[in-house]
Chain A
Amino acid sequence: MIKKTVNNVQEAFSGVHDGMTFMLGGFGLSGIPENAISELVRLNLKDLTCISNNAGVDDFGLGLLLHKKQIKKMVSSYVGENAEFERQMLSGELDVELTPQGTLAAKCQAAQQGYPAIYTPAGYGTEVANGKETREFNGKMYVLEEAYKADFAFVKAWKGDEAGNLIFKGTARNFNPLMCGAATVTVVEVEELVKPGELDPNQIHIPGIFVQRIFEGKNYEKRIEQRTVRKK
């Protein structure tokens, strides 16, 4: 077994510095790498490019980095839950690349799997396709979208073992598996880190080969963005 464990988030962050491009998992606040985000805030890294489906809310998730103006460029599909984001974008302080959600997923997966680019119909005929190569297949138009290039991927999984094998939970899975192995270094935080052999190989979502560093995270808040319930 090739061991991927590091002791803590500080060790996992070896080699992380200003100006880098990061991928961060999560959809809304579900499945975000909370420990990695806290560490990015603590280190006060600057001029970051962040690839993440959303940008958090004003006081949680990537919103914490936006608040401290640590992010130079954001690559996302939807940023509507964050007023500070919208303000920085409309004022031009923040560079933003809005990308269709399925395209964002595909560009991560392409990076993970060694495809330089993929064709997608999403965004054809819209401003998203401006300046991009388009091509017709079977009578329908597609846009060429290139794989992302990132320095670090920060991923959150539910359970993982020392070999870096991962299992995700519910809809907290989202972009997390697609970012594993899609950056030069993949750092995974898990709620529960177990010994090799404790996870059933049949149930593994991401094999450890896509992971360089894994640690058990601490103090998960797992904040709910829209608490909707019904009466018993």
Chain B
Amino acid sequence: MALDKNGIAKRIAQEVQDGYYVNLGIGIPTLVANFVRDDINVEFQSENGILGMGPFPFEGEEDADLINAGKQTITALPGASFFDSAMSFGMIRGKHVDLTILGAMEVAENGDIANWKIPGKMVKGMGGAMDLVASAENIIVAMMHTNRAGESKLLKRCSLPLTGVGCVTKIVTELAVIEVTDKGFKLLERAPGVSVEEIKKATEGTLIVEGEIPEMKL
């Protein structure tokens, strides 16, 4: 059965390792924090200027001066730090952040990503996404395999304006875990009960299937 959004977040959480500084994008990526093993030490960075981001505050303790990049009220954990936006993107551009998890509208088999603009329709801006994808070395995309019209979001070439070129390393969808390689999308894992055929059908770009493809362990 295909995963729900929490399932995708749960699978991505397995990629988070002890000692990682992690930047989470808005949407499914935000949910990843809920599923990270509690026996490892991880710090979450929010690009508006905090390392050591904690959970939402208790009712009545919200602070307008303490928000995440999604403008949600948050808390700061012991050991947290605040900094300005230049330093924040300095830690991103300088490759000090170990893992970036973000959403996408399209990913191409060469690792290009589009997630900021639909010309003439949706123009909200790129926020920090272009900086993140241009600099991070470990970028995982969390998204649904197809759009609302049922069209694949894993393409030979992106059709929407790009956010970054050749940067995505891994994609986790409701159907599969896929690695972006020089030769195209390489299928690593299937969602429980989902067949390789179903994944192939939902993938427009080149899908490399080698040997038995294991099911995700959630």
Contact = CB atoms under 8 A, between A and B. Distances in A.
B76 to A, nearest CB: 8
Interface in A24-65: 27-31, 53
Interface in B121-160: 123-131, 134-135
B73 A100 contact: no
Contact of A53 (B85, B120, B123): B85
Nearest to A206: B84
Interface in B80-97: 82-86, 88-89, 92-93
Interface stretch (B35-43, B57-65, B176-184, B204-212): B57-65
B82 A170 contact: yes
Interface residues of B, number: 54
B58 to A, nearest CB: 5
B161 A27 contact: no
Contact of A175 (B63, B84, B161): B84
Pairs of residues from A and B, 7 with the lowest C-beta to C-beta distance, nearest first = A102-B89, A80-B124, A102-B131, A125-B165, A170-B65, A100-B130, A222-B64
A124 interface: yes
B83 A173 contact: yes
Given A229-B57, A230-B56, A128 B65 contact: no
Interface string B158-190: 000111111000000000000000000000000
A81 B71 contact: yes
B66 interface: yes
Interface stretch (B10-18, B45-53, B195-203): B45-53
A173 B49 contact: yes
A8 interface: no
A30 B71 contact: yes
A172 B65 contact: yes
Contacts of A123: 130, 134
